[in-house]
Amino acid sequence: MPIRSIWRTLAVLAVGALTAVLLAPAAVQAAPRESRPVYSYADAVRESVWVDTGLDEDGDGRTDRVAADIVRPAEPARQGRKVPVVMDASPYYSCCGRGNESQLKTYDAQGHVVQMPLFYDNYFVPRGYAFVGVDLAGTNRSDGCVDVGGRSDIGSAKAVVDWLGGRARAYTSRTGGTQVKASWTNGATGMIGKSWDATIANGVAATGVKNLKTIVPISGISSWYDYYFAQGAQLYDGGPDELAGYVESGQAHCAAVQRKLADGSPDSGDWTRLWTERDYVKDARKVRASVFLVHGMQDLNVRTKHVGQWWDALAKHGVERKIWLSQTGHVDPFDYRRGAWVDTLHRWFDHELLGYDNGIDREPMADIERHPDQWTTSAVWPPRDTRTTTLYPARGTTPGVGTLGPGRATGTETFTDDPSRSETDWAADLTRSTPDKAAFITPALTAPLRISGSSRVTVTATPSTASAHLSAVLVDLGPDTIRDYADGGEGITTLTERTCFGASTAGDSACFKATAARTADVGATVVSRGWADLGHHASPAKGTPLTPGHAYTMTLDLAATDHVVPRGHRLALVVAGTDKDLIEPPATRPTLTLDLARTTARIPLSGGPAALDRATIAPLAGRTLTVVGTPRCLTGHGDGCTADADR
């Protein structure tokens, strides 16, 4: 990972001091390694600007302006020095709130921000950064319309990055006002945020905008199609038009935009131009910013398919990157690993925005939570020895419960779609014959087996009706204590005491409710899952009715993960129909017959076939392993991947 140029270090030299006084000349000082809280948060400049986006999405005849609320230290500007920016662009600042405590922006009588949600301003402003909270177009105090990841969403945030870099215009009011320049910043900007905010960071980075130095997307979307559909299978019964209406700030004139959103996202699950515009993965080659990606491996809101495909694309194009993977659901790391998170984020921004050589670029690429509050690291992710290894299902002595191992088998298994059953039910009934699933299980492992990356399951299935949905689920069969991601807290419990990170004012506290891991004792753990509409077997762009009695082959993309199946546990593959509460059921209730000779699971294993052999799966029936893909492919998305696995 290249070290940032030294000029940014010289521009903010006093940030590394222990007091607010100016340092001696840089020539006699050691290079700073950490920004310190030497600036006054109470005296920070609080101001608002409205940036011209160049768009007129609300059709009122004038270009839309988006509001950017700014908190920045006063001292550097008085001393003739410029500061970098941490920025969070969000649609949630007035409708729904940010963070575990759903904080909203609040303002004084002059319209200046009093409370900025989350800890970013409290912590980083005293350390010589500005914080900028951007209201996405159509929300809070911004003009325009919400278009859910499209040109208005991304363009409104990009316009602020451009303004910070001196390439766009901003004004002191929403209409009219005096033009204002960001003369207090050196333009170096890092974007951060969770969920929709993280998605905006991904999308802005994918434009290739200048002066965006890094992004930290937490639980972010990389392609909006994959938020609403899984290979044609509908994940939610609502669409982007409903989401836009939920966050918009009373813009009745945005009805036309919402109609376009509805028309462009048909329930059929077909790929349309709307989804192409909102696919950031295809533009990964444009990304100039480094990426520190954070995600919960049990996030069932923004599934980890978004992680796998985005990470692969970034790796392919040599983007600097770092990753944290937790056992939680849709949870911010501030609420499951607070102290370590603040320290790591601080060092990341110091390195990426201030150019400090603090060594974070030479540390392991990945932090992975193995058990609640127990973390491990990987020098690169996935590990360099990861190989995509093919396992095959075979019939067993119990109907619907077979074996999983190397070498092709013959025969069939049959199941009937039951929309009342979920992956949790299937996992609980793995060794029991039930009509709604087909399960295939390895023998007990004699050595741990690490799955690292994205798996693919190819099935050949014959439906009894004209429509069918498929689910493929990998399960770790064995007792464990995990974060209870299915609980309302998605793996955390919020406590009453508070911990403080940064400086406070009367209107903006740096103290937040502490949390603890919420755990559950289980007999089986769902490791990864994927879904598809069999009618989209030929193309993601267009689904077609099925011919009952005809066999179709389709490959399901399973979500990225990093999981170790322990010694003594078993690895299982479940193939079934509707996964209750995670995909919508098809129009019919088909019975599907699997051709086991043409059904495979391609799993990225650390150590590949050799690791599988050590875990004593290889001796099963004396069959031979098959390795698919190349050793350099990171997470299994595409054979022949030549990404730099050594970064």
Q: Which residues are catalytic?
A: 195, 299, 330
Q: Could you give the CA distance from residue 10 to residue 81 in angstroms, rounded to a whole number?
A: 10
Q: Could you give the CA distance from residue 149 to residue 136 in angstroms, rounded to a whole number?
A: 10
Q: Could you give the CA distance from residue 647 to residue 644 in angstroms, rounded to a whole number?
A: 6
Q: To 10 degrees, the CA torsion angle through 89, 93, 96, 102? A: 100
Q: Could you give the CA distance from residue 119 to residue 509 in angstroms, rounded to a whole number?
A: 8
The distance of Cα 525 from the centroid of its chain, to the nearest Å, equals 21
What residues pair up with 66 in beta bridges, in sequence order? 51
Of 184, 155, 196, 147, the C-alpha closest to 51 is: 155
The structure tokens 């403080």 sit at 500
Enter the DSSP assignment of 279. B
- Which amino acid is residue 48, in one-letter code? S
Q: Could you give the CA distance from residue 370 to residue 360 in angstroms, rounded to a whole number?
A: 22
- The first and second tokens of residue 79, run together, are 């001393």
Q: Could you give the CA distance from residue 77 to residue 56 in angstroms, rounded to a whole number?
A: 34
CB 214 within 8 A of CB 292: yes
Question: Counting Cβ atoms within 10 Å, is residue 292 exposed (0-12), middle (13-18) or buried (19+)?
Answer: buried
The distance of Cα 533 from the centroid of its chain, to the nearest Å, equals 23
In terms of residues, how long is the chain? 647
Q: How many CB atoms lie within 10 A of CB 351?
A: 22
Q: Could you give the CA distance from residue 87 to residue 525 in angstroms, rounded to a whole number?
A: 37
Enter the DSSP assignment of 259. H
What residues pair up with 528 in beta bridges, in sequence order? 474
What residues pair up with 493 in beta bridges, in sequence order? 516
CB 463 within 8 A of CB 533: no
Q: Could you give the CA distance from residue 45 to residue 49 in angstroms, rounded to a whole number?
A: 13
Of 444, 58, 503, the C-alpha closest to 252 is: 58
DSSP letters for 230-242: ETTEES-SS-HHH
Q: Could you give the CA distance from residue 305 to residue 529 in angstroms, rounded to a whole number?
A: 9
The angle subtended at Cα 201 by Cα 200 and Cα 204, nearest 5°, is 80
CB 437 within 8 A of CB 516: no
E strand or H helix that includes residue 628: none
Question: Counting Cβ atoms within 10 Å, is residue 485 exposed (0-12), middle (13-18) or buried (19+)?
Answer: buried
CB 419 within 8 A of CB 585: yes
Counts of helices then strands in the chain (DSSP H, E): 13, 32
- The first and second tokens of residue 504, run together, are 């406070």
CB 171 within 8 A of CB 52: yes
Enter the DSSP assignment of 244. H
The structure tokens 């390439």 sit at 167
What residues pair up with 575 in beta bridges, in sequence order? 438, 472
Helix axes 196-205, 151-164, angle to 10 degrees: 70
Alpha carbon distance, N-terminus to C-terminus of the chain: 8
